[in-house]
Structure 1
Amino acid sequence: MAFAELWSVEMLAAAFAGGAFGAAVGALPSFTLAGLMVVVGELYALIQRTTDAAIPAVDITGSIAFGVVLGPHVAFGGGAAAVAYAAKRGYLDFDSDYHRAKEVTRGLGSKPDVLAMGGVFGIVGYWIATLSATLAFPLDPVALGVVGSALAHRAVFGYSLVGTTPKRLLDMSPFERRQTAEAGDVIQTDGGLPVEPWLPYQYRWTNVLLLGAVVGVLGGYVAYLTGSAFLTFGISVVVLSLVCAGVPDIPVTHHMALPASTAVLAAVDAPLGSLTPATIASALPLSEALLLGALFGSLGGLLGELAQRVFFAHADTHLDPPAASIVATSFLIGVLALAGVFPSAAWVPLP
């Protein structure tokens, strides 16, 4: 990407529209659509790599799922900013145990100023991700765009960046005791619980460690069989449609699946676009792939939990813990590649 893309009128218009769309349908619903497109795109790419038939070269994953149409840095980030804005304006009139500005599962309809705010932060996320990719920061530019956009909307709308003092960042005990916030104890805002875990059924360290290992094994296995770093990620994101539908206790696992699959492919000394199941099998035993997957899946889960305790549980708006985790795990994979531990970085940009 060139720096000129940062100011391309056409790309800015598309990013604005993507962010406004995320506001209209809701941040998480737009993300589930991105997951669906990832699955479609990765299957299409797999057919391209493994068949001799003339198939048009269309990057569905990169241009649609991770581009300005449904890219989380644009649509999800725009939707999260829009719901934070709508809560600040008093537009949200539903009852919830959680701060209203964290309700990323709901759509916001067609109110012009809300759509405009989603569009503006769609551009912010697009700028962050494009700049990161242009400068070849060794981490996931899309995830960085999601995190940077969330920090930006908190600053712009006057929300606290983390919501509590450093000594209390990891403290989940008020939620566990179901305490009511008291003056001088923990932060109380907008009538919500004083401490709100991102997922009340998925926040204990041992639980996310085990879940990460399980998902990581699956992510590593699918990457080993297909050469795709994103297919298990896409499947995990599609599952989030059940969260939008209100099905209880659905785990969120894409931040576990992605580093697991990526680490397996980074262990193969071949360009990502040329990877086939045969290439991977000749370079890496399946046992090592599963072990790598379990290790990086567990790490993704633990870092996601750390991020939710630092940036979500005590704060007032949605800063996505999985995106923060992916920033960290992709950076680790990039650093390991630069240090020569991994022969490649898979899809992670390298300077």
Structure 2
Amino acid sequence: MITVEVILAAFGGGVFGALIGALPAFIFVGVMGLIGIAVSACGGNVDIVGNVAFGTLFGPHIAFAGGVAAAAYAANKKHYLESGMDILTPLLKTKDVGVLLIGGIFGILGYLINFFFVSIALPTDTPGFTVFILCVIARIIFGSTGIIGKTEIAATSEMEKRSFFPDSKTLGFSIVWSLGLGLVISYIVSITQINIIGFCISAALLIFVQMGFEFPTTHHITLVAGYATMATGNMFIGAAFAVIACVVGEIVGRTLNSCCDTHIDPPATTIFLCSFVIFIFM
């Protein structure tokens, strides 16, 4: 339902996402999601997952998207950040009301767009699709590199063409680890019947990225595996979709999120693409 109260709450969620940074806000999706799952498993009647983790406070289509847009604005229009790709830095440091207002405006847009998609029963992961749309809007408004970025990148002394596909070594490594992760997550989803449990674990583990460690981003893989497992009742199909999500994520990241000056989220893009296939055909 669209009310004045919920619109103001979405504005606040977007402001909060800008204030603390897009990635920190997203990490709390995982933390609150796990808390909500635990509360539900204990018989609690408060929907922390829906109302908090994916609601107006930490919903990725609100807080994360607001933080991404605010970072794009802060970097490219105000020069507070070195790059609009920086989604780790809390924008409290800017002390700029305009930066927070951009976050709040995108928070409202995130709520409204997602509400529309849900109301028409769009067959995809609507928060993921909403994040993708808002990231594209932020790049168009605040960026200068275009949707797919620069076609060439500067090397040490010559121009080197971008690679949109992983090399064989990277691809093989990604297939093995995503298959292993897909198998264990699909098994857990099959016995718990909670399709977002892997997603929440993956989102919470991004705390290590925030701390500066080289750490894999896996929430698109675990959520797609959860969706496929629940849709088919088959953990092996879930694992197969985990591998598909990993490869799609690699390609999307190289296409939309490299050689660019704002962030278009590869996991969100991968989630909406893969979930569309699952929701339509399975």
What is aligned with 1:230? 196
Of residues 222, 244, 252, the one that matches 2:217 is: 252
What is aligned with 1:145? 130
What is aligned with 1:272? none
**Aligned to 2:46, what secondary structure does the other structure show?**
coil
Letter in 2 for 1:72: P
**Aligned to 1:102, what secondary structure does the other structure show?**
coil
Cα deviation code 1:203-247 (max 9, x no counterpart): 932222222212111210111221111111111111100100112
Counterpart-to-counterpart distance in 2, 1:234 and 1:266:
19
Letter in 2 for 1:162: I
Correspondence 1:90-101 to 2 at 5 A? 90-92=78-80, 100-101=83-84
Contact 1:196 1:314 in 2 (8 A): no
For structure 1, the 5+ residue unaligned runs are 49-54, 95-99, 169-173, 187-193, 269-287, 338-351
Contact 1:307 1:325 in 2 (8 A): yes
Of residues 72, 81, 86, the one that matches 1:103 is: 86
When residues 317 and 220 of structure 1 are mapped into structure 2, their CA distance, relative to the original with a 3 A threshold, is same
1:179 aligns with 2:165: no
Cα deviation code 1:295-346 (max 9, x no counterpart): 0110111111111011111322111100000001110111113xxxxxxxxx
Q: CA deviation at 1:123?
A: 1.3
The more displaced of 153-162 and 298-307 is 153-162
When residues 307 and 266 of structure 1 are mapped into structure 2, their CA distance, relative to the original with a 3 A threshold, is same
Instruction: Please tell me the root mean square deviation across aligned C-alpha atoms, in Å.
Output: 2.3
Contact 2:202 2:217 in 1 (8 A): yes
What is aligned with 2:121? 136
Correspondence 1:106-117 to 2 at 5 A? 106-109=89-92, 110-117=95-102
What is aligned with 1:322? 267
What is aligned with 2:208? 242
Counterpart-to-counterpart distance in 1, 2:26 and 2:195:
18
What is aligned with 1:66? 54
Cα deviation code 1:129-155 (max 9, x no counterpart): 111111101000110111011011111
Contact 2:71 2:81 in 1 (8 A): no
What is aligned with 2:106? 121
Counterpart-to-counterpart distance in 1, 2:84 and 2:46:
37
Counterpart-to-counterpart distance in 2, 1:331 and 1:319:
19
Counterpart-to-counterpart distance in 1, 2:37 and 2:71:
31
**Aligned to 1:136, what secondary structure does the other structure show?**
coil
Counterpart-to-counterpart distance in 2, 1:11 and 1:212:
38
Counterpart-to-counterpart distance in 1, 2:84 and 2:231:
38
Contact 1:230 1:258 in 2 (8 A): yes
More helix by share: 2
When residues 33 and 195 of structure 1 are mapped into structure 2, their CA distance, relative to the original with a 3 A threshold, is farther
Give the alignment's TM-score, normalised by structure 2.
0.91
What is aligned with 1:342? none
Correspondence 1:274-313 to 2 at 5 A? 288-289=234-235, 291-313=236-258
Letter in 2 for 1:92: Y
**Aligned to 1:204, what secondary structure does the other structure show?**
helix
Letter in 1 for 2:155: Q
Counterpart-to-counterpart distance in 2, 1:93 and 1:312:
17
Q: CA deviation at 1:43?
A: 2.1
For structure 2, the 5+ residue unaligned runs are none
When residues 71 and 179 of structure 1 are mapped into structure 2, their CA distance, relative to the original with a 3 A threshold, is same
What is aligned with 1:349? none
Counterpart-to-counterpart distance in 2, 1:155 and 1:125:
16
Q: How many residues align?
A: 276
Q: CA deviation at 1:9?
A: 1.7
Letter in 2 for 1:260: A
Identity, in percent, stands at 34
